[in-house]
Amino acid sequence: MLIGNAPCSWGVFYPTGNRLTAEEYLDAVARAGYRATELGPLGFLPDDPAALADALASRALTLAGAAHVHVLAEPGSWPVLRTALDRLGSLLSRLDAPHLALMDESEWYPPGQPGVVDQAGWRVMIGHVRDSLRYVTETYGVRLTFHPHVGTCVEREAQIDRLLQDTEVDLCFDTGHHAFWDQDAVAYMRKVWDRIGYMHLKNVDPAMRARVLKGELGPNESFAQGVMCPLPDGAVDIAAVIALLKEKAYEGPCIVEQDPSDNATETPEALAARNLIYLQDLLAR
């Protein structure tokens, strides 16, 4: 399986205004030992296929795929989403990286109502997912998956079940986001294995998660304080995740994500390297 990392591990969540440039990120992820990267926010890495291919090749990197965030329950936003899908689909198909994970935008929801949509909003979201799946598959030959995410309308198992029932989309399964609400990532992976098309590897700090579950700490605050911890240190049994992927002969990308906290004592590059060493040991067993 292909182990990669992503710009979000370096705190890159937007195309501009970041602490490091695209070139600095690519240098760092290569130094950390990775041979693949996800695209990151559209516009951060070069979106000219030739320029991106050269930038990757010069560092012995490949493109594993991309993730894209959109306000999925917002009516009338399909033209904006389609424009992004065109840019992404063209780039991914040209670089032979046919994986695109779609996720909802958590920042869209008002304070105190994260992920809350009514039936009309759910139908709009489902329509966007169906249209996106059909469009990128038919137009670009790209495999679209859906990424359940904390603070959105698809984060709990019942919501994921409903999404899988209402659409034909497969999952970008994120171990950390799934476990955030004390859900068993490995058990759910087994339950829906045939609907998993892409993997994000992340872990969650059990003590901080307990504070969130008790209402002592909000989800957004917990991210800033490091609720998503290094892979060896959290509540998710990453060894069991890797064992399951090996058992099922999974050959797709596994993207490591390490959301940086405001008070981190290790650099993003050091964390990325530590996560990779841990995974390499598990894969070698």
Q: For 234-238, what is the mean pLDDT? A: 97
- Domains, the chain, ordered by start: 2-284 (3.20.20.150)
Q: Do β-strands 203-204 and 228-229 pair in parallel, antiparallel, or remain unpaired?
A: antiparallel
**What is the pLDDT, as a whole number, of residue 113?**
83
Q: How confident is the model at residue 133 (pLDDT cuts 50, 70, 90)?
A: very high
* pLDDT score for 261: 87
Q: Which amino acid is at 49?
A: P
Report the amino acid identity of residue 258: Q
Yes or no: say if 176 and 257 are a contact pair by the CB < 8 Å rule. yes
Rounded Cα gap, residues 63 and 98, in angstroms: 9
Closest CA to 52 of 97, 100, 4: 97
What's the whole-number mean pLDDT along residues 202-230?
A: 93
pTM, 2 dp:
0.96
The pLDDT score that the predictor gives to residue 130 is 98
In this prediction, residues 90-113 reach a mean pLDDT of 93
What average pLDDT score do residues 157-171 get?
98
Residue 260 confidence (pLDDT) above 90: no
